[in-house]
Amino acid sequence: MLSITYSAAASGVDGYEIRVECAAKKGLPSFEIVGLPDAAVRESEKRIFTSSESCGINIQSAEISINLAPADKKKEGTAMELAILIAVYQAVGIIDGAQDCTFIGEISFSGEVRHVRGVLGMTIAAINSGRKRIFVPLANLKEASVAYRDGVEIYGVDNINSLVAFLRGELSCLEKAEANPYDAIDSYTSAEDISQVKGQLVAKRALLTAAAGAHNILFIGPPGSGKSMLAKRLPTILPKMSYEEALEDTKIYSCAGMLSEELPFVLERPFRSPHHSLSTAALVGGGKIPAPGEISLANNGVLFLDELPEFKKDALEALRQPIEDKQVTITRAAGRFTYPSSFMLVCAMNPCKCGYYGAPGGKCTCKPADIRAYLQKISGPMLDRIDIQVEMPALSFDELSDDTRGETSAQVREKVEAARELSRMRFRRAGFKNYAAKSNALMETDELREFCALDEDCKKVMEGVFTRMNLSARAYDRILRVARTLCDIDAVSRGITEEDGMIGGRIKKQHIAEAAQMRALDRKYFR
């Protein structure tokens, strides 16, 4: 007898449907799987027979053949085991009526249905393929419920016996997903607040600009100046995640196996701060079956690289393409995998090895050659990709002892959201379909020409900046992007939406000058 069920497998952060075909006939007991299964898939034979025996179900007297389609794509992992088991049960007549269902899960010897990685992406793939009933491990039910849609039934299964009884109609119900848990997205609050950072008004202004335009930023200063403290508060002033962003990040964390059972979905913007000793593969992703790296785990959030020169040079250079493309593609023998990597890069570093170069009092003990060697660990192309560079001097006693609280994260976030709304309005008016995901930092050449047009006064200022700072073409464009963001922030502070026929107004020479000042450290430290 021939039976058909459906399962799914992960490919990067997304999933794809697998058709499980089972042919069973009387004969010598045998079990064969075709369709490019890996070792884990082939080992399902033992788990299926042993778990069935444990649950009192006899399938030992059949000659069983399994085909996994598409047959030309390698099948990996254990997520297909439940679907293979149900296909076998249908073929030998134990159950009926599961032909158009999707089954995802690993089986234990005792018949328990175990948690697997990547369930969210697989569930979405099943829904997109038209499946109306989807069965996942009970431990994955909350995660799968993120994909919930009207007309789709998503069930959680804890063991084989309950699933068989349900499919036979002997059990009235299984635990079922009823609603999308992302309704709770507005409930997230952070204990960290930008008002806790004392002094550093210039750095705070730069952080506001970076958040408003999604610009990469570098802090340079001596130990204890507040670089890390300020960077860690960046997520608190970024706009709240949209459902689409949260869904994308949840798929990434699901694929990486980093979702908890209690809260199996991402509600806050990620903040990743890897140690400088990590490998290139850990940073960008890799492995025999490539897993998401830190840059993908930081997607729609912040990647913070503290002590930037201490990172391996090849790891830093590997960041260059993902920063530009907002995704990373990894090719291995197992296939080609693409992971999103749309993150804000925040870096912090000391001006020298000891940390006190340029500090008052002659504290620095480094030789000039050592200082140059330390700073030259950051390549020019890498620096070109950092829009804003800010020097953070050591705090004075008066600043440290001042108990005056500045703006809160909530107040700064309002400015950030208002500035981003202006940029979205421009992109929407210009006819961009994906305008909601655009930011000033992502403007392409044509958009720069349209939204960052300079009058004669601005051109003169920009010419002086370009010549004096010896800018590359990439650095020139990035100054324009930052100037556009500064103009939007200025428009928000003045309470205007449109001026001179441009949403957010047109760039003025003061915006160019301030944007150039935010790259002035190129000349001070990296000449």
Two structure tokens written together for 228? 């890390």
Q: Do 207 and 134 share a domain, yes or no?
A: no
CA torsion angle for 248, 489, 496, 441 (degrees, to 10)? -50
Q: Do 221 and 349 share a domain, yes or no?
A: yes
Q: Do 158 and 249 share a domain, yes or no?
A: no
Sign of the CA dihedral running 289, 330, 322, 316: positive
- CATH assignment at residue 152: 3.30.230.10
Two structure tokens written together for 305? 């690289």
Strand partners, 391: 220
Q: Can you list the residues of the chain whose pLDDT is less than 50?
A: none
Last residue of a domain, one of 179, 204, 229: 179
Q: Do 192 and 167 share a domain, yes or no?
A: no
Q: Do 96 and 196 share a domain, yes or no?
A: no
Element (H, E) at 272: strand 271-272
Q: Do 226 and 166 share a domain, yes or no?
A: no
**Rounded (5°) CA angle 89-91-97:** 70
Please name the residue that has the structure tokens 């996994």.
68
Return d(Cα 407, Cα 191) in angstroms, integer: 15
pLDDT one-digit tens code per residue, 379-390: 888 888 899 999
- CATH assignment at residue 281: 3.40.50.300
The residue type of 454 is: L
Please name the residue that has the structure tokens 């720069």.
448
Q: Do 95 and 221 share a domain, yes or no?
A: no
Gyration radius of the chain's alpha carbons: 28
Q: Do 175 and 205 share a domain, yes or no?
A: no
Parallel, antiparallel or unpaired: strands 106-107 and 113-114: antiparallel
pLDDT one-digit tens code per residue, 219-238: 998 888 889 999 999 999 99
- Domain of residue 453 covers 187-525
Last residue of a domain, one of 158, 179, 200: 179
Number of domains comprising the chain: 2
Q: Do 171 and 197 share a domain, yes or no?
A: no
Q: Do 166 and 258 share a domain, yes or no?
A: no
Q: Do 329 and 457 share a domain, yes or no?
A: yes
According to the model, what pLDDT value does residue 26 have?
80
Q: Do 255 and 364 share a domain, yes or no?
A: yes
